[in-house]
Amino acid sequence: MAKPTGTKPIAENRRARHDYELLERFEAGIVLTGTEVKSLRAGQVQLAQAYGEVRGGEVWLVGASIAEYSQGNVANHEPDRDRKLLLHGREIDELHGQVREKGHTIVPTRIYFKNGRIKIEIAVARGKVLIDKRRDIAKRDATRQIERELKSRRR
């Protein structure tokens, strides 16, 4: 049987774009059990409250909830456990250096299948203040209004 190619999205953390200014993105593997993979295939994951943490030279995903597999047995996984992320040593060092800066954190932005393996995209992020959020909303509204005007003139 041939290995699947390409990417297939599982879930996206849209709150991250709203609440944070995303600075740099990394692709990481994730250590999972069999029932977690089956739940992810069904799209049962919650990334909204999740964040990354560097502990002892390793990066961990904390707060992500992968629902229990419905056809699982007593060996089913714990939904809210911390999961280890797989990154190169230099990437971990870079992440650790950036997170030590004031106001920076690691947030998961999306989780997807890539060539049959589950990958997670994490980003180093800085929290937005209310003024930044308002500015983004005003900018989006202005762009939308300009597009409407251009569309009406083309007719």
* Domain assignment present for 138: no
Please count the structural domains in the chain: 1
Who contacts 27 (Cβ-Cβ below 8 Å, separation ≥6)?
Answer: 114, 119, 120, 121
Is the pLDDT at 132 greater than 80? The verdict is no
Which range marks the domain in which residue 85 is found? 7-128
* Domain assignment present for 139: no
* Domain assignment present for 153: no
* Domain assignment present for 141: no
* Domain assignment present for 154: no
Q: What pLDDT, in 10s, does the model give residues 19-36?
A: 888 889 999 999 988 888
Which range of 1-10, 119-128, 129-138 scores highest in mean pLDDT? It is 119-128
Residue 1's pLDDT band, with cuts at 50, 70 and 90, is low
Across 88-95, average pLDDT: 92
* Domain assignment present for 34: yes
Who contacts 25 (Cβ-Cβ below 8 Å, separation ≥6)?
Answer: 109, 121, 122, 123
* Domain assignment present for 136: no
Domain of 63, CATH number, reads: 2.40.280.10
